[in-house]
Amino acid sequence: MPELPEVEFARSCLSRWLGGRTLRKVDADPTRVIRGASPKAFAALAGDRVTKVERRGKWLLWRFASERGLLAHLGMTGKFEMARPGTPSVRWSRVRFTRSDGAVVHYRDPRQFGHVRIAPFSVLLTTEPLKSLGPDAKDHPPSTSTLSARLRKSRRKVKEVLMDQTVLAGLGNIQATEALFLARVHPARRADSLTLGEVGRIRQAITKSLARTLAMNRGDKITYVEESKRVKNPFHVYGKANSPCPRCRTPLEKMVIGGRTSAFCEVCQPRSPGRQVEGRARRKA
């Protein structure tokens, strides 16, 4: 599932393919991806020029010369792909952006959990979801003390809070799972029980895990880890419950946190510092 590194990959491809270019034609199929918007609003982008493609957390934000904007979220299976003239059609294409040289950038999305929306650029910046987005985990990582202040406001489990886009923008299940493993912090620790030292380790681990995943994605095509059995899972612990811990060889455990499965090592990521706090919370509830 696309998280910050995969969306950053999409941003860099889109900048190469469309940055500074005028669109000859845009057509959107009336699918769930455009959420009931009129395909005519997309068609009206014909003749407009893409001036910039930015990323905010897991969102892509395009700016046009007309001051219109396009906001895209890749959902679970969305991606942008470019097809040169004469190449086979793209399966599950939902929105198509045709360049003046005939090349077409497709938004393809088999499961249609993604979202593409057009509005004035300034409106996109000042309304949800961008309005409430936290600092970008890659471009504007908060200092340890800022991150600590944000985490300590919450009684939720640290993994859930790290995935909350209003706290920190860009992490999903993969990056939160990986970062907590690297930081040796149990994913179910209560966020308000973390020490400054632990938050410092989490902050470093996030940067490290994002950089590692970013470096894995090159070229013009990307395959998400869930998409194909042929793609080897490249992560340390994500999706690897029951496999040996890469650090101590103990079989990895898993638990569901906030509806998402988290793999972790109970030896390298001990629960004990948070157990007491959590026990108290449960009795109170």
Query: Which residue, 96 or 240, has its beta carbon nearer to Zn ion?
Result: 240
Nearest-approach distance from CB 210 to Zn ion, in angstroms: 22
For this structure, is 3 an active site residue? yes
Size of the site for Zn ion (CB under 5 A): 6
List the one residue out of 69, 72, 73 whose CA is nearest residue 119: 69
Residue 99 among the catalytic residues? no
CB of 52 within 8 A of CB of 16?
Answer: no
Identify the DSSP state of 257: E
Q: In terms of CB distance, is 117 or 247 closer to Zn ion?
A: 247
Q: What minimum distance in Å lies between the beta carbon of 270 and Zn ion? A: 10
Q: Which of 99, 162, 265, 274 binds Zn ion (CB under 5 A)?
A: 265
CB of 182 to Zn ion, least distance (A): 11
Closer residue to Zn ion in complex, CB, 45/245:
245
Q: Classify strands 104-108 and 115-120 as parallel, antiparallel or unpaired.
A: unpaired
d(CA 198, CA 188): 14
Q: For Zn ion, which is the closer residue by CB, 19 or 270?
A: 270
Question: Which member of 260, 271, 275, 278 is catalytic?
Answer: 260
**169: DSSP letter:** B
Question: What is the CB-side half-sphere exposure of residue 29 using CA atoms within 13 A?
Answer: 13
Let me know if 58 is a catalytic residue.
Answer: yes
CA 18 to chain centre: 21
Among 214, 241, 255, 267, binds Zn ion (CB under 5 A): 267
Shortest reach from residue 246's CB to Zn ion, in Å: 8
User: Within 10 Å of residue 130's Cβ, how many Cβ atoms?
Assistant: 17
Amino acid identity for residue 208 in this structure: K
Residue 180 near Zn ion by CB under 5 A: no
Query: What residues from 204 to 263 belong to the interface with Zn ion (CB under 5 A)?
Result: 245, 247-248
User: In whole angstroms, what is the distance from residue 203 CA to residue 22 CA?
Assistant: 40
Which one, 163 or 268, has the nearer CB to Zn ion? 268
Annotated catalytic, 260?
A: yes
Shortest separation between residue 195's beta carbon and Zn ion, angstroms: 20
User: CA-to-CA distance for 132 and 241, rounded, in angstroms?
Assistant: 34
Residue from 153, 194, 32, 42 nearest 105 by CA: 42
Q: Write out the residues near Zn ion by the rule CB under 5 A.
A: 245, 247-248, 265, 267-268
Q: Which residues participate in catalysis according to the annotation? A: 2-3, 58, 260
